[in-house]
Copies of this chain bind each other. A is one copy, B any other.
Amino acid sequence: MDNRLKLALHDALNAFGLQSSEAKNLFYESGVLRIYPRNAVLFYENAPNELEYLLVEGVLHRYNTDQDGKDITTGFYAGNAIVTPHFSRTVGGRSIFALQALTDIAVAEIPVKVLDQLRYTHPEYRTFGQRVIEAEFSRNLINDIAFRSGTAAYRLELFRKIFPGLENIVPHYHIATYIGVTNVSFSRLRRKK
């Protein structure tokens, strides 16, 4: 495996609070670093899935297919990012959304059972888990409020703050569904500023 990516994983673990070499080695024991090409689907909606994902490089999005067969993006993951944890994206062992690479990506995968065990036995992992959860939910709430009381322009502004530069990397129609407008309206919003 690419040495540069090993280093990137090392840095990512640090960034998320797994700083002791003991904690890192525990991760390396069961985690694998994988490469996926652009457009690869890591798992589908309703498919069984038993992994946790740490995105080391590239961009992912989560999406669902609505009644009309259209894909709706409900989240992006960019740079160093923890994908929404297993317990909060799984019902009856099956994923409630699909996860797809929007660029070539490098992602560390670790079985959720292993990570649960680590969280139980190792304080750094406990803190790590707590941090991931809190980030996840406070981010969700901000979006909830933005959709209920903000305009599409405001949501785009928010998106740009949270994911600077992403607009130049991923297809716009994904961003459009993410902020809850058509791709035509999205283009209009871009022109206005």
Contacts and interface: CB of A to CB of B under 8 A. Distances in A.
A176 B162 CA distance: 27
Given A96-B137, A96-B138, A144 B74 contact: yes
Contacts of A72: 145, 148-149
Contacts of A79: none
A47 interface: no
A110 B36 CA distance: 46
Interface string A126-155: 000000011001101101110111000000
A70 B145 CA distance: 11
Q: Which of A133, A140, A147 has the most CB of B within 10 A?
A: A147
Interface in A54-80: 64, 66, 68, 70, 72-74
A97 interface: yes
Contact of A145 (B66, B88, B133, B179): B66
A188 to B, nearest CB: 17
